[in-house]
Amino acid sequence: MIDLKTFEIWFITGSQDLYGEETLKLVAEHAQQISAGLNSAKQIPVRVVYKPVVKSTDEIYTTLQQANTAPNCIGIVTWMHTFSPAKMWIRGLSILKKPMLHLHTQFNRDIPWSSIDMDFMNLNQSAHGDREFGFMVSRMRINRKVVVGHWQDPEVLEQIDSWTRAAAGWFDWQGAKFARFGDNMRFVAVTDGDKVEAELKFGFSVNTYGIGDLVAVINAVSDEAVKALTDEYEATYTMDGSLKKGGAKYASVYEAAKIEIGLRKFLVDGGFKGFSDTFEDLHGMIQLPGIAAQRLMADGYGFAGEGDWKTAALVRAFKVMGAGLPGGNAFMEDYTYHFDPNNALVLGSHMLEVDASLANGKASLEVHPLGIGGKADPARLVFNVGSGPALNAALIDMGNRFRLLINEVEAVEPQNDLPNLPVARVLWKPYPDMKTGCAAWIYGGGAHHTAYSQNLTSEHIQDFAAMAGIEFLRIGKDTNISQFRNEILWNETAYR
């Protein structure tokens, strides 16, 4: 569903006419080599497209205008091999709508000590050319990422990758549609927010659909299609005999499969990238969608429960940003704590809908009663989630601004069997420690719902927040609660 190779970033090199044809020919050759090098780097998941060197106000304006409207261009990378007087950039930068990365690099890694002359100096002057350009971007208060180092340096490539993935997630949000079945869970605050402001700020729209519209699609699903899907379930998951065809509880699995097919058809037909539902509003549905939501998430759809459209959209963006990387991105909820002073842990889960892309090994398909919602026993996948570095992110509406808050965590393998817990689960330790991590999260107004990522880092998320132009708060190994509280206080002024 998500193929980052359909996206491109444009490599744009700035210069000026006064160097003469010979030098400008070399500038173009070098820029082509760097562009080709980035394009073939295994770290960079999109295509890198070389653009002819820009040498005047008009060339800059035209190239950036084309970048704005090119359908697959998700951002631009700029580099000043030579000097490119920055007043030439004002007109172009003032209309730029795509994210920008300023690559402060040099064609030659090393100074050729024995042969260096003024011709070399004349050609290789990004050390000051990029400063001139950087001034103008800062002067115009334009968000961009600055990456410094030789273009073949693996660290440089990884930083470009981080920005590129953020740009892909950002691009995916522009014009994206999210469906909301039912409204917010009654009286819940943090999952709500300003959908008009979100569309202005983030580019995606959220609209509601009566549950009856979905039920009509589910009811029209054919018997053969449902049986084919329950066959797929039997081939894919561990299942008790009673849940298989002919078993006493097969009807529950049949109903769950029917919901999955109907929900998927609704999303595909409507061109949606994600959805939310509400257990308080399921009129005409026999079960709450459990396995359906789990499998749709694993296929790349954003989802969050209880009408939480912000988290659904964030999960989708993370899935695009992490596409092709090992590990998953998922809807998560901080559920319950283990306050053992020597081994403090958070148990993350949800009523049913833990993303199947997190499953460590073969998942078990089970049917159990659900205490809330008043519907028939729903089918869900039960599994453990693996260990390793991860993070939780929440997008919250602070009234005058959106805030993207993250907590870096370390997931751990479950040390105990949980025979009576009929949902998938994750265990993690928040950084810098349980008490500081949880306190900072609560000071930051962080939600109980998050997007949980196994393959994105705070750098990806910070780049993403910068593209959106919203507040970013990070809780990690170096977080100090006193400084963190001050950061929140100072941000109130910054965003006033």
Residues near Mn ion (CB under 5 A) are 305-306, 333
Considering the complex, state which of residue 99 and residue 305 has its C-beta at the smaller distance from Mn ion.
Answer: 305
Considering the complex, state which of residue 59 and residue 306 has its C-beta at the smaller distance from Mn ion.
Answer: 306
Considering the complex, state which of residue 253 and residue 312 has its C-beta at the smaller distance from Mn ion.
Answer: 312
Considering the complex, state which of residue 105 and residue 450 has its C-beta at the smaller distance from Mn ion.
Answer: 450
Nearest distance, CB of residue 373 and Mn ion, angstroms = 12
Nearest distance, CB of residue 252 and Mn ion, angstroms = 22
The one-letter code for the residue type at 422 is P
Nearest distance, CB of residue 279 and Mn ion, angstroms = 9
Nearest distance, CB of residue 448 and Mn ion, angstroms = 7
Considering the complex, state which of residue 287 and residue 311 has its C-beta at the smaller distance from Mn ion.
Answer: 311
Considering the complex, state which of residue 333 and residue 487 has its C-beta at the smaller distance from Mn ion.
Answer: 333
Nearest distance, CB of residue 335 and Mn ion, angstroms = 9
431: CB partners within 8 A, 6+ apart: 407, 408, 409, 410, 437, 475, 476, 477, 479
Considering the complex, state which of residue 321 and residue 351 has its C-beta at the smaller distance from Mn ion.
Answer: 351
Nearest distance, CB of residue 453 and Mn ion, angstroms = 18
Considering the complex, state which of residue 306 and residue 408 has its C-beta at the smaller distance from Mn ion.
Answer: 306
Please state the length of the chain: 496
Nearest distance, CB of residue 271 and Mn ion, angstroms = 26
The one-letter code for the residue type at 193 is G
Considering the complex, state which of residue 333 and residue 471 has its C-beta at the smaller distance from Mn ion.
Answer: 333
Copy the structure tokens of residue 54. Answer: 């820009």
DSSP 263-293: HHHHHHHHT-SEEE--TT--TT-SS--SHHH
Considering the complex, state which of residue 93 and residue 312 has its C-beta at the smaller distance from Mn ion.
Answer: 312
List residues bridging with 239 in a β-sheet.
365
CA–CA distance, 16 with 57 (Å, rounded to integer): 10
Q: Mutual orientation of helices 309-321 and 458-468 as an angle, nearest 10°?
A: 120
Nearest distance, CB of residue 229 and Mn ion, angstroms = 26
CA–CA distance, 240 with 227 (Å, rounded to integer): 17
User: Buried (b) or exposed (e) across 468-490, using 16+ Cβ within 10 A?
Assistant: bebbbbbbbeebeeeebeebbee
The one-letter code for the residue type at 81 is H
Nearest distance, CB of residue 172 and Mn ion, angstroms = 24
CA–CA distance, 386 with 202 (Å, rounded to integer): 32
Q: Mutual orientation of helices 309-321 and 154-173 as an angle, nearest 10°?
A: 140
- Backbone phi and psi for residue 151, each to the nearest 5 degrees, phi listed first: -70, -10
The one-letter code for the residue type at 11 is F
Q: Cβ distance 295 to 327 under 8 Å?
A: no
- Number of neighbours of residue 50 by Cβ within 10 angstroms: 18
Nearest distance, CB of residue 303 and Mn ion, angstroms = 11
Nearest distance, CB of residue 185 and Mn ion, angstroms = 8
Considering the complex, state which of residue 198 and residue 351 has its C-beta at the smaller distance from Mn ion.
Answer: 351
Q: Is the peptide bond before 389 cis (omega within 30 degrees of 0)?
A: no
CA–CA distance, 284 with 357 (Å, rounded to integer): 29
Taking CA 30 as the corner, what is the angle to CA 25 and CA 34, rounded to the nearest 5 degrees? 150
Nearest distance, CB of residue 342 and Mn ion, angstroms = 30
Considering the complex, state which of residue 63 and residue 278 has its C-beta at the smaller distance from Mn ion.
Answer: 278
Residue 406 DSSP SS3 = strand
How far the first Cα of the chain sits from its last, in Å, is 40
CA–CA distance, 257 with 296 (Å, rounded to integer): 12
* Nearest C-alpha neighbor of 372 from the set 305, 417, 297: 305
